Structure 1
């Protein structure tokens, strides 16, 4: 069964809101989108994210269902990006993990966690242990600084800001009506009544805290650098017991570096301490970062539910709420998109069972409460 031509009001023009607007408009529906900010999505967590697509690497801090969502999303991202008229940088060259000699014990623990998770999700390509020769072949610029590493094949990344801009251009091309600096809540609509949209889709993230009483912000801090002397070919993670960082190389020697995850919805500027830790760790990975130029230091909070897992719920007829993407927004959003479309088309979702995704839909049994993710 497919959804007959309908009208949609989408609240929030971050990553999920834009993906849904584009897909629904392509299906012939009339779509209006409302956002508290501007077309540049400066208030969205998606603007600050590194946009790494790393299901096995992230398995160390999340549940198998989210890992399966990430694995599902990798080929789906290729399809979604290929359908856009403006180019978006996408790379699927795997993830490299390295560590200094003094952190070998932490690296062994981390390796054991990934190997165990690999057994739980066997569809993921197995990790590869690299000695100095294999590391030199995989990433020559790191050969003199690290003797061992891990390579996680198939993992990827994309350019988050290019994607948001391309989705904006696609919404314009498809005739989506966009309302900027125009925050709305579901209570502003009476879906299904004359003069009102048929459906309301709430994708406001932390903007929906009034409706999701247990929603919280998890703060992240990110540095964007221009480093012409650094030639890392793929996202690289540094194992460290206190601040494990990631370095995500984008186009034209642009690097996104981050690590911090703080239980706070504080959006004040980054601290000196955390900035020094990020930059020092980046320099420890590659000395070329010493001459890099700091383009931006940004903070943002990710919308997170108590179990650190995403959810879709239907508080009333013709209203769907999508939230709780935590730090996995780009990794899992294609899966969340397809589950939402499936619900709209059929009233339920078989795909969600594959991901152990929590659904709260009218007329269906309430889901069992999922245990919080055990941080390995």
Structure 2
């Protein structure tokens, strides 16, 4: 297939772009993926990779909870390494009220003794909430898997778009063609802790510094959670790094000995209501506003895009 034959040019190579390209390709459309020279790594590379619609129900609008429920199944069918181990939510003894509040605002959970779910946490917490119907993945490996499959199936990757229709998935870089986007800063750490074994994401509730810890392979963990309403990217701040490390330490003291492998900060795109949108504006389709729900909502948004394209063609 030559570049000029593509039905759609998908702009970007983050989770929205690669999910849309995959679904369009599988639906029989010809697709090219456009990434200009010098493009930075997508903000998706800094994601936690949690497929946790029920936990998100604490603060997220109802469409996130409802439409995010298909994510675990979709990712499991399309990339290797997706874990179906659920999510464990805990809180320090002084913040048990936060745990009670979380239980009232969410569903599909049960009360547990954390040590029954994660043996290494047996001495750390007396009770927690277990969400068995959730999962997680490694974002970078998942995106690489989607990209490798598209390349193997001869989907073109170009520096400039050649198709007549554009699907713009460039996050905040789309602001020149899409109104209403704002930036929400997030910061994260990746550490190696060989003294601890966790098999599922741990969410620590705290009134000021909530955080999550997501296991990767070989004793590696991603620690994240900070959200600051700003368009500034830059590097992680010392305050945020100390807060994340302090929170991780309160989950298990062994994090004091962890090796810091990476620190990252990025700005995620969001609309006012924090719900992703698929819209047609300024002559192109947009899939954007993923906020903190990229991997959770990308499959639903891609399905919505295809449905809208089919409606237009009728």
TM-score under structure 2 length normalisation: 0.93
**What CA deviation, in whole Å up to 9, does each residue of 1:39-76 have, x standing for no partner?**
xx743111110110111111111111111111122212
Structure 1 residue 260 corresponds to structure 2 residue 226? yes
**Aligned equivalents of 1:224, 1:80: Cα separation in 2:** 25
- The answer as to whether partners of 1:247 and 1:255 remain within 8 angstroms in 2 is yes
Aligned pairs, how many?
A: 310
Superposition deviation, residue 145 in structure 1: 1.1
Uncovered stretches (5+) of structure 2, i.e. residues with no partner: none
Give the 3-state SS of the residue equivalent to 1:274 in structure 2: helix
Q: What's 1:334 paired with?
A: 299
From 31, 41, 53, the equivalent of 1:55 is 53
Q: Is the 8 A contact 2:233 2:266 kept in 1?
A: yes
| Alpha-carbon distance in structure 1 between the residues aligned to 2:12 and 2:299 | 17
Among 212, 224, 227, the residue aligned to 2:193: 227
In structure 1, the partner of 2:250 is 284
How do 1:1-376 and structure 2 match up within 5 A?
7-36=7-36, 42-81=40-79, 88-114=80-106, 118=107, 126-130=108-112, 134-180=113-159, 197-315=163-281, 319-347=284-312
Q: Which moved more, 1:220-229 or 1:101-110?
A: 101-110
Question: Structure 1 CA distance, aligned partners of 2:83 and 2:125?
Answer: 24
Q: Could you tell me the TM-score, scaled by structure 1's length?
A: 0.78
SS at match of 2:262: strand
Contact 2:49 2:136 in 1 (8 A): yes
**3-state DSSP of counterpart to 1:209:** helix
CA RMSD of aligned residues (A): 2.0
Worse overlay, 45-54 or 6-15: 6-15
Q: State how far apart, in whole Å, the 2-side matches of 1:229 and 1:100 are.
A: 21
Larger radius of gyration between Structure 1 and Structure 2? 1
Q: Is the 8 A contact 2:177 2:281 kept in 1?
A: no
The alpha-carbon deviation at position 320 of structure 1 amounts to: 1.4
DSSP 3-state at the match of 1:50: coil
